[in-house]
């Protein structure tokens, strides 16, 4: 079952043990359930082991994760830049989780770039950058949460994984796999889920807290988008959804309110590729999902300055929404053959 190099795990353990016991954990900007589950789970384990651990997130994260153990101690860099810089200054080990490039830190990039202590990267995205002293990057793991749990199991820290940490790790795996629906390429995901369940987590409660915790506004926005903002391209087995700034205003949009929208068209018979374009003040945030072999990270890398995994990727385009939608339609013929190979 061991899929991470033993030497890397030893090095990971040693870097933590060699630290002055002050450690900072950093997820990517606009952190999702996996990024938060990974940092909060590791935070709990290292805290249980007697370390002084802080989490600094580049930006805030959706309210439906605000129940998680330790969430109220997370320092948000975009709101508290001085406190964030102080936390980094006072530590000598920084662990980056669930991202592969410094650009995923947004405005916090320079702070991490100029960090004086040792740095570790724990991630499951392809093409990890070399901005840390140690890189543990394994794309065969469903989530960073599954990866860090597996790594911890081979260290002395295993005894500090309690029910709270297990709950955070399970949240990460559950959200990155869409409740065990995608991103699973190895039975280890289910083995880890079973182990976490044996540690006493309440998986129904976790699911309910994340997925049955939406606002009325979000629910209505979802219905509105499906009715008025979705385009289906049957010849390309593709569908796209967009959300304008005006739509966001009309439905009192809050961070995370569009989470999961991108997956919805994949439930349409014959659709294997879909996109969500969310208008922001200065750019368009793009999200892509696919079924099967069609690699959406290639679409995102080539046309949307982004990246991600084969079946889930994202990026940004500094253009208008109209231009973005036109660009998307224009590139579909280029990917037609590869999209069709995904149809079973
Ligand atoms: P989402 O569509 O949920 O924002 O992201 C899906 C996947 O693509 C995630 O694994 C995320 O890390 C990656 N991703 C999202 N946005 C970006 C981006 O702007 N740049 C890169 N490199 N990856 C992204
Ligand atoms: Mn992830």
Q: Which CATH class is domain 216-341?
A: alpha beta
Ligand 2 centroid–CA 145 distance in Å is 8
Ranges for all domains in the chain classified under CATH 3.10.310.30: 216-341
Q: Is the pLDDT assigned to residue 300 strictly greater than 80?
A: yes
pLDDT digits (tens, 9 = 90+) for 127-136: 999 999 999 9
Confirm or reject: Cβ of 312 under 6 Å from ligand 1.
yes
Q: Is the pLDDT assigned to residue 328 strictly greater than 60?
A: yes
pLDDT digits (tens, 9 = 90+) for 20-30: 999 999 999 99
Ligand 2 ion: nearby residues, β-carbon < 5 Å: 34, 98, 143-144, 176
Position of tokens 């079952």? 1
Confidence (pTM): 0.94
Confirm or reject: Cβ of 307 under 6 Å from ligand 1.
yes
Q: Among 141, 276, 314, which residue has the most ligand 1 atoms within 8 Å of its CB, making it the best to mutate? A: 314
Mean per-residue pLDDT for 316-338?
97
CATH topology of domain 6-211: inorganic pyrophosphatase (n-terminal core) (3.90.1640)
For residue 124, give the ligand nearest its CA.
2
Confirm or reject: Cβ of 128 under 6 Å from ligand 1.
no
Confirm or reject: Cβ of 27 under 6 Å from ligand 1.
no
pLDDT digits (tens, 9 = 90+) for 160-185: 999 999 999 999 999 999 999 999 99
Residue 344: the pLDDT is 77
Place 2 in a pLDDT band, splitting at 50, 70 and 90.
low
Confirm or reject: Cβ of 306 under 6 Å from ligand 1.
yes
List the strands of the sheet with 284-290, edge to edge: 230-233, 238-243, 273-279, 284-290, 312-317, 307-308
Among protein residues, the one whose CA lies closest to atom 20 of ligand 1: 306
Average pLDDT, the chain: 97
For residue 103, give the ligand nearest its CA.
1
Among protein residues, the one whose CA lies closest to atom 10 of ligand 1: 308
Strand partners, 273: 238, 290
Among protein residues, the one whose CA lies closest to atom 24 of ligand 1: 314
183 or 241: which carries more pLDDT confidence? 241
For residue 312, give the ligand nearest its CA.
1
Q: Is the pLDDT assigned to residue 285 strictly greater than 90?
A: yes
pLDDT digits (tens, 9 = 90+) for 61-90: 999 999 999 999 999 999 999 999 999 999
């Amino acid at each position: 079952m061991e899929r991470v190099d033993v030497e890397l795990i030893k090095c990971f353990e040693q870097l933590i043990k060699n630290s002055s016991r002050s450690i900072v954990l950093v997820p990517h900007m606009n952190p999702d359930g996996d990024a938060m589950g990974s940092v909060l789970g590791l935070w709990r384990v290292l805290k249980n082991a007697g370390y002084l651990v802080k989490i600094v997130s580049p930006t805030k994260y959706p309210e439906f994760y605000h129940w998680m153990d330790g969430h109220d101690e997370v320092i948000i860099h975009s709101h508290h830049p001085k406190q964030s810089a102080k936390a980094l200054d006072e530590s000598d080990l920084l662990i980056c989780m669930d991202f592969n490039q410094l650009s995923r830190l947004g405005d916090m990039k320079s702070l991490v770039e100029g960090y004086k202590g040792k740095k570790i990267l724990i991630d499951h995205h392809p093409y990890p950058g070399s901005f840390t002293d140690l890189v543990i990057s394994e794309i065969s793991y469903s989530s960073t949460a599954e990866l860090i749990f597996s790594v911890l199991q081979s260290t002395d820290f295993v005894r500090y994984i309690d029910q709270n940490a297990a709950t955070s790790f399970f949240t990460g795996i559950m959200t990155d796999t869409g409740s065990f629906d995608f991103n699973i390429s190895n039975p280890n995901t289910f083995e880890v889920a079973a182990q976490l369940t044996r540690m006493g987590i309440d998986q129904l409660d976790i699911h309910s807290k994340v997925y049955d915790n939406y606002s009325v506004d979000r629910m209505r926005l979802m219905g509105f988008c499906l009715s008025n903002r979705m385009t289906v391209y049957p010849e390309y087995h593709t569908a796209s959804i967009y959300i304008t700034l005006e739509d966001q205003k009309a439905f009192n949009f809050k961070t995370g309110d569009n989470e999961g929208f991108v997956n919805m068209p994949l439930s349409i018979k014959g659709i294997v590729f879909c996109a969500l374009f969310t208008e922001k003040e200065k750019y368009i945030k793009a999200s892509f999902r696919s079924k099967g072999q069609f690699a959406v990270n290639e679409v995102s890398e080539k046309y949307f300055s982004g990246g991600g995994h084969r079946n889930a990727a994202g990026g940004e385009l500094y253009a208008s929404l109209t231009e973005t939608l036109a660009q998307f339609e224009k590139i579909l013929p280029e990917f037609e053959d590869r999209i069709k190979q995904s149809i079973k």
